[in-house]
A and B are shown apart, each in its own frame.
Chain A
């Protein structure tokens, strides 16, 4: 339990840092970008909206920095992330519409990619020296291709040229969103290519990491003992794989951040209505409240994913359990 508490502490601290970065950045940057922006907006929007925007950055009237900070944090805790400058709606309502798409797309892709990559890596490690080894440089290449570039190429070949997959958007224009079959099957059809492209971009990392750990584990005595016991090959592989997968899961926290970063841009390429696409729009329009809101939400989601990974690790490695019990 101690490990989980410590991790929780770390994530709470991280969330606090993210919030504070959001608060401090507009104030630290040269030329006071927020004030400039508000100045530019004057006349285009009503004074009430200007007030709302000021408030969402904690720029209350005549307050010191500390007081501003508390205003800002208390606004956040009330779920008030401010108002989007370009879209006019509140940031939290905009995010509520787009976050599920992103969590669905990236979450599913990550699970598929981790599962297949880990399995393939275990096999590559076990069959080391066989002809499957020639697969490694290819995998390395895919690991190095930027997510958005691979997505663009996939979109071009399998979407525009071959018309194997529908592209652009998360579902067909002809269906009505809701819990109906037409809509759900359309979502699946439209999700296929983005999922495939994220899986292709991220799978090599899991695979190569697992392969290396598998080779390391095969060098351990207990794997040799599994052979000496006359166990079937499948069980010998399991002995090694069960241990080799632990570092992969321990590294999940680092990897999730990277995968999410890359996958956000895949949404962009496919015009997927998630936060990635939203983020780009916000950046182009200098919609600071929206940028900050998205950053915060992504960070919190990644932290939650990390926490899940920690629980999985704890369940799989009895050594940490004992340590935690002490």
Chain B
């Protein structure tokens, strides 16, 4: 891919992949997850669908990466495939996922490529280094077991030297750190409220002090008040347990609060990547702008909700050129024929895949997508455009 990159128009930054990161390349021990050229397909032959295309990013220790996109954008597929949890007919068609498993006290450096790891290696890494919180805690918890059993089982498997009493004590400590009473451990999942269940899942995810916690829409199924509480608790827990996080959601305004860096995915590819506040203040991709206008901001000025016209693309039948062009109010002829590469913008630590920005000197960038855009410009962007 880098070879083709070199032929890209002048504005395209020609540095290699890892240089297109937001921050200067971190020291090796500074990252927890390093993903490069990662691709996932579903099925094969005529019915093959490319769900994740050539994605690269690096997650620093204790940092939060937000992944945003509509359903079907490939954001969940990405994280499940990364951790090798994606179900058939999902197949990883290439890439490297390096997980840094060095604990803070360790002498040497140790990284594992999850893509080539054996089942045994994965079993050791899972939960003790990477844990996951799913959208629906009700379906993620075994309905016939008391939730205390889940804690006990995880601790017993990964910390065989702990006694039964120690495991119980640790579980009690964990649930109280998410604001629940210890007696909840003796309940069955269906006896808990949605918020309680999700808190249990979060506490469970932290049971082994993992370096990375993946949150797949953890608050989507909850009401707004509970969502708010859990987001606040997550901030506290991060301060306390110091873990890195990949936070997946379709709600960009939620992401802006918690994430350091955000990638926006569309049809399996990253279309924009930036620091959270910069992305929020000045989105560059028309899709990002549309997403921002689809949700009310958690704080600050209200804006008109306009949403994105059309529906998410059918991965089995993607348009040519830029995958977003059929829904894009700014689409040009070029967008129909050629796919824009994800390109680092020269003026800031961010990249975008859009011909408006990388199309060369002849293209004028609309004001609402330029670096000087004001909130007002953006608020009316979709509405005013034909």
Chains A and B touch (C-beta atoms under 8 A apart): yes
Interface residues of A, Cβ cutoff 8 Å to B = 219-222, 224-232, 235, 239, 242-243, 246, 316-319, 322
1/0 contact string of B120-156 vs chain A (CB within 8 Å): 0011111110011010100111111110000001100
Sample of 7 further A-B pairs with CB below 8 A, known A222-B142, A232-B157:
A226-B142, A227-B85, A229-B127, A230-B128, A246-B144, A318-B144, A318-B146
B190 located at the interface, meaning its Cβ lies under 8 Å from any Cβ of chain A in the complex: yes
B295 located at the interface, meaning its Cβ lies under 8 Å from any Cβ of chain A in the complex: no
Q: Are A231 and B153 in contact (CB under 8 A)?
A: yes
Q: How far, in whole Å, are A318 and B147 apart by their CA atoms in the complex?
A: 12
Task: Decide: A235 near B126, CB < 8 A? Known: A221-B140, A227-B85.
Answer: no
Q: How far, in whole Å, are A225 and B125 apart by their CA atoms in the complex?
A: 14
Q: Which residue of B lies closest to A235 (CB)?
A: B153
**Restricting to B96-130, which residues have a CB under 8 Å from any CB of A?**
122-128
Q: Are A230 and B139 in contact (CB under 8 A)?
A: no
Q: Which residue of B lies closest to A321 (CB)?
A: B188
Q: Are A230 and B144 in contact (CB under 8 A)?
A: no
Complex interface: chain B residues within 8 A of A243 (CB): 142-144
Q: Which residue of A lies closest to B88 (CB)?
A: A129
Q: Which residue of A lies closest to B119 (CB)?
A: A233
Q: Are A222 and B141 in contact (CB under 8 A)?
A: yes
Task: Decide: A230 near B158, CB < 8 A? Known: A224-B85, A318-B188, A319-B190.
Answer: yes
Q: Could you name 23 residue pairs across A and B whose Cβ atoms are closer than 8 Å?
A: A220-B139, A221-B136, A221-B139, A222-B143, A225-B132, A226-B142, A227-B126, A228-B83, A228-B85, A229-B153, A229-B154, A230-B123, A230-B128, A231-B123, A235-B153, A242-B145, A243-B143, A243-B144, A246-B144, A318-B188, A319-B143, A319-B190, A322-B188
Complex interface: chain B residues within 8 A of A317 (CB): 144
Q: Are A225 and B123 in contact (CB under 8 A)?
A: no
> How many whole Å from B128's CB to the nearest CB in chain A?
7
Q: Are B142 and A230 in contact (CB under 8 A)?
A: no
B338 located at the interface, meaning its Cβ lies under 8 Å from any Cβ of chain A in the complex: no
Q: Are A222 and B126 in contact (CB under 8 A)?
A: no
> Dominant SS at the A interface?
helix
Contact of A322 (CB < 8 Å), options: B127, B136, B154, B191: B191
> How many whole Å from B74's CB to the nearest CB in chain A?
18
B47 located at the interface, meaning its Cβ lies under 8 Å from any Cβ of chain A in the complex: no
Complex interface: chain B residues within 8 A of A227 (CB): 85, 126
Q: How far, in whole Å, are A226 and B154 apart by their CA atoms in the complex?
A: 9
Q: Are B142 and A242 in contact (CB under 8 A)?
A: yes
Query: Which 10 A/B pairs are nearest by Cβ-Cβ distance?
Result: A230-B126, A221-B139, A229-B127, A318-B188, A230-B123, A230-B127, A221-B140, A222-B142, A225-B140, A228-B132
B87 located at the interface, meaning its Cβ lies under 8 Å from any Cβ of chain A in the complex: yes
Complex interface: chain B residues within 8 A of A242 (CB): 142, 144-145
> How many whole Å from A178's CB to the nearest CB in chain B?
46
> Which has the most chain B C-beta neighbours within 10 Å: A221, A225, A318?
A225
> How many whole Å from B183's CB to the nearest CB in chain A?
16
> How many whole Å from A275's CB to the nearest CB in chain B?
37
Q: Are A319 and B142 in contact (CB under 8 A)?
A: no
Task: Decide: A230 near B124, CB < 8 A? Known: A221-B134, A225-B132, A322-B188.
Answer: yes
Contact of B157 (CB < 8 Å), options: A219, A231, A322: A231
Q: How far, in whole Å, are A219 and B88 apart by their CA atoms in the complex?
A: 10
Q: Which residue of A lies closest to B129 (CB)?
A: A230
> How many whole Å from B160's CB to the nearest CB in chain A?
11
Complex interface: chain A residues within 8 A of B83 (CB): 228
Q: How far, in whole Å, are A242 and B188 apart by their CA atoms in the complex?
A: 15
Complex interface: chain A residues within 8 A of B85 (CB): 224, 227-228
> Which has the most chain A C-beta neighbours within 10 Å: B87, B139, B140, B146?
B140
Q: How far, in whole Å, are A148 and B124 apart by their CA atoms in the complex?
A: 52
Q: Are B157 and A230 in contact (CB under 8 A)?
A: yes
Q: How far, in whole Å, are A316 and B128 apart by their CA atoms in the complex?
A: 30
Q: How far, in whole Å, are A225 and B126 apart by their CA atoms in the complex?
A: 10
Q: Which residue of A lies closest to B158 (CB)?
A: A230
Contact of A228 (CB < 8 Å), options: B127, B188, B190: B127
> How many whole Å from A74's CB to the nearest CB in chain B?
46
